[in-house]
Chain A
Amino acid sequence: AQRVTQPEKLLSVFKGAPVELKCNYSYSGSPELFWYVQYSRQRLQLLLRHISRESIKGFTADLNKGETSFHLKKPFAQEEDSAMYYCALSTQTGANNLFFGTGTRLTVIP
């Protein structure tokens, strides 16, 4: 069975400080990993996916198969980064059935 764990429900950092949101997964196959974000009063939206290896809004995430992790990082947090972040896993490349973690609420303190 697959599982996504986000150990921090809440995370607060000061503006300009580095931020790392942790995500660990368990799955016996080769998963596809995603980060979704929900800003205040907005819909859940895709932030980035590991296969694209892009940097979106300054965020990056590297899939570490050895540690089964997909941590989200940004070197300098901005106030507009305050949001709810969800790590998600898909068990097949090209599948839409996402398995989500419980989410981390990031607050960037001005």
Chain B
Amino acid sequence: DAGVTQSPTHLIKTRGQQVTLRCSPKSGHDTVSWYQQALGQGPQFIFQYYEEEERQRGNFPDRFSGHQFPNYSSELNVNALLLGDSALYLCASSPLPGGNEQFFGPGTRLTVL
């Protein structure tokens, strides 16, 4: 089991563009959470998906949206990119929506120019 996988590893976009990041959860896990980690900061919770629905959401604007597929993989979409969206985006999975350890992926480094 490769654990949580994320693609791409790195991405460079310009302001105003749109980006899609992808995540495959650890085998046996059906809940996916997304976090944004700016340089020098701890991860910040964006949202969580379970049963293909957004279950919880952090303090992020509607420009951030997501999707979960029947195979439990997930996408994070960010529209109208701003310079401040430059960060490491982490995906984490767990076997249930709550009460369990989260397993993190390696992250996708997004740079907005």
Are A and B genuine complex partners?
Answer: yes
Are B43 and A97 in contact (CB-based, < 8 A)? no
Are A96 and B56 in contact (CB-based, < 8 A)? yes
**Interface residue count on the B side (C-beta < 8 Å):** 28
Are A97 and B106 in contact (CB-based, < 8 A)? no
Are B42 and A43 in contact (CB-based, < 8 A)? no
Q: Chain B binding site: helix, strand, loop or mixed by DSSP?
A: loop
Is B73 interfacial (CB-CB < 8 Å)? Answer: no
Among A46, A93, A101, contact of B42 (Cβ-Cβ < 8 Å): A101
Q: Chain A binding site: helix, strand, loop or mixed by DSSP?
A: loop
Are B43 and A98 in contact (CB-based, < 8 A)? yes
**Interface residue count on the A side (C-beta < 8 Å):** 20
Are B106 and A43 in contact (CB-based, < 8 A)? yes
Among A43, A49, A92, A99, contact of B104 (Cβ-Cβ < 8 Å): A43
Is A45 interfacial (CB-CB < 8 Å)? Answer: yes
Smallest Cβ distance from A87 to chain B, in angstroms?
8
Complex-state Cα separation, A86 to B41, whole angstroms: 10
State the A residues within 8 Å of B (CB): 4, 43-46, 49, 86, 88, 92-103
- 29 inter-chain pairs at a CB distance below 8 angstroms, sorted by A residue, are A43-B3, A43-B4, A43-B104, A43-B106, A44-B43, A44-B104, A45-B103, A45-B104, A49-B101, A86-B42, A92-B98, A93-B98, A94-B96, A94-B98, A95-B97, A96-B31, A96-B33, A96-B48, A96-B94, A96-B97, A96-B100, A97-B56, A97-B58, A98-B45, A100-B42, A100-B43, A102-B41, A102-B42, A103-B41
Known: A94-B97, A94-B99, A96-B33. 16 other contacts (CB 8 A): A4-B42, A43-B104, A43-B106, A45-B103, A93-B99, A96-B92, A96-B94, A96-B98, A96-B100, A97-B58, A98-B45, A98-B102, A100-B42, A100-B43, A102-B41, A103-B41
